[in-house]
A and B are shown apart, each in its own frame.
Chain A
């Protein structure tokens, strides 16, 4: 008899099968998620957890029989005698029917991990292609140890490795140890004549060998080798700019919040570390915490340039563009004081956009107001003009909760090389 302890075997033997299953179910899960994201809280959707998908394409059909006359033998007869007729819908016959295996299984439920879920959820989205923009080098170079080399700069000599190799060589070539020679010489001091000549010859031979085999040979020397490798900037900062002037209703803020949330989830998937900066503005801008951002009361006029100015200053003081990927999303109802246009366009084109990976403008409107009916606001008109001049800006209008995901999806949809970002 053998006893085998399998507990330490690598787990997840079914992982491959599970992945195959998910790959097959992908279209279904994504479809289900997108549908439900239209009227559910985005946060809940992204939490993953249990999903239920229709069994279409996932079923494993078999020939099954149903109907017809059935005979069954059951245990536990209490009071029936031969010839009794039991009503079909009663207690007696209800139990008797087979536990249905067929029709109950039209939806299949299982648990997805959050990662699996978000992967599926954001699968066909990607960050906009940055190659053609000014900040093409989103990556910096780093050095990495890459073993040892026989050539290199003296500063990089690896002493331990060199000495180890030298020792191995000395042992292999049987280089006499100085102690051996010293011992022989001590013996030489007090011994007879015949032995003396013998010893002298031996010592001479050893000394010659000692000279022939160097302690450290150039072939022993090893240098630490370094390799340059591109180091991606693994952190990103996300600026949330929002107009909180009186004209922004709770509904509009809710829309903006949902958009920011999606952007955050999306960025955390790409970058190891994501910071968020909330800037709210009326006619002046301030950096606030999240709660104040969404719920703090504020009133005043509207000066968009103040927010852009604030963002610019924060970037300059805290987020060096070389070390940070900078994303910005601005939400507003589109009102802006007429005289501010020039300042906005100057700040955007000269300060903000050159250092940003992506700048999105989301114009939020009231529910019911179809996006097509919204008259172009002053900010929208301004941004549209900038875009026409070739400034890389993304902009969308949203007036209903259900449009958030489609708009988001649209902005980050994976594109062919030629297609231009919206």
Chain B
């Protein structure tokens, strides 16, 4: 590679030709040296006010209208004006072409950093990580949001703003439970089913043995149990995607209301991978920008002064305060992610004995980028940490595990620290902190009283004694009852099937029901 292209820019000012040049320089390094595979880039320069706008609509360039976005906007604006909150340097959208918003205030160095970070780091992650590939449609999302926006506007025109607002309020309350966590089983069509039945018959004929007749089959199931099983099977129960269940089976929803639920559900699903890959996503982007910026500096295309400016903001970004630091507010995903990526680089290129023992698959293989690309494509935060958090990094961050049991009067117990006994336990617990299965309450629809008063029955499987916040649970269930339009009950059940608490709510009269 020729290393004499000269400086990309001088000083702090940038213009659009410089942005183009910066992008091309980053792209060259990203493609040839890091082997990144990205969606085409679209870089948009925006103002602070537009950044605030983007904040309030989950970063998306267009969104339907709803008061809650106005609330967030007012909130952010108040904070921003008071100086409590700064604004991000960029926002990047998982779409094709991949849109990155850059703030106009950024210096040329910051624009370079941000382009390397968002337009290549995040972009590669979006395109290659299995969660995003499985759950999001980068090509379609902007069109879908456009459709959603105009559909909601149409509904408001036809059915009144109040009715639409009530439906959206209810849908938003259930948004975190409007997600498919597993790719569903494909329903067989009639022909395939017939074929399968035929094959099964054939197998039975070919493997006929009269002895089977004599095998006892256990007690006969009662008619009641059979009918309940059949009912639950027909309704697809148990179902943890509450919005999906309502959309398909709520008895009194209008068609447009079902479509609104569907829109909210799809959008929730679109954001689902992001919440599971915060550490990895930011870690990838930070690692990529670090590599690209360093390389640009080595090639002499970034002056020493600009490189120092970059290093200063880079170290701010990857700063991890200790737990007893007043600035501590949980793990910084940039810091943890970047540290782990660098650690993997070290393990692959120059491992020590401990690494060989812990990571026999990757230690010393030499090709850093191949290993990292594989990691970026096939893991999420939880599995990433439980696979790749090395003892050395645990020691370096001095991680320790606290176990807080309210029953334990004496206090909180330190369960594991960064020592030989603790590495695996610390790693498992940290991975669990990022496991959505543990973060979100596990709530399912278990049954519907079809023969009686059509009560919808939900069940919260309580994990580690953490029950629902009562006030909020009642509010959400009220929304749920409004959509279902009959009674709704929720029981909280612990692992031993003891009922801890039961909620029952009756629907209110909705404007939309008229």
Contact = CB atoms under 8 A, between A and B. Distances in A.
A2 B417 contact: no
Interface in A364-418: none
Contact of A84 (B46, B175, B413, B462): B413
A45 B323 CA distance: 43
Contact of A17 (B44, B70, B97): B70
B398 A75 contact: yes
Given A18-B70, A59-B475, A63-B472, 18 more contacts: A4-B43, A4-B45, A13-B53, A20-B165, A21-B71, A61-B173, A70-B466, A71-B401, A71-B404, A71-B464, A73-B402, A75-B322, A75-B331, A76-B322, A81-B417, A93-B411, A102-B469, A109-B78
A64 B97 CA distance: 36
B68 interface: yes
A51 to B, nearest CB: 10
Chain B contact-residue range equals: 35 or more
B28 interface: no
Interface string B468-512: 110111011001000000000000000000000000000000000
Contacts of A13: 50, 53
A192 interface: no
Interface in A71-85: 71-78, 80-85
Interface of A: 1-7, 9, 11-14, 16-24, 50, 58-78, 80-88, 90-93, 95-96, 98-99, 102, 108-111
Contact of A7 (B23, B46, B69, B398): B46
A50 B414 contact: no
Contacts of B70: 14, 16-22
B417 A68 contact: no
Interface in B337-374: none
A60 B173 contact: yes
B415 A82 contact: yes
12 contacts: A1-B43, A2-B41, A14-B70, A61-B471, A64-B441, A64-B472, A65-B466, A69-B464, A70-B403, A71-B415, A86-B414, A90-B411
Contacts of A72: 401-402, 404, 429, 433
Contacts of A109: 78
Nearest to A22: B70
B81 interface: yes
A110 B172 contact: no
A64 to B, nearest CB: 4
Contacts of B57: 14, 17
B77 interface: yes
B173 A62 contact: yes
B322 A83 contact: no
A171 B463 CA distance: 88
Nearest to B331: A75
B118 interface: no
Contact of B324 (A22, A82, A95): A95
A91 B464 CA distance: 25
A60 B66 CA distance: 12
Nearest to A2: B42
Contacts of B43: 1-4
Interface centre among A18, A59, A74, A96 (most CB of B within 10 A): A74
A5 B414 contact: no
Contacts of A77: 323, 398-400, 417-418
A79 to B, nearest CB: 10
Given A75-B399, A81-B417, A1 B465 contact: no
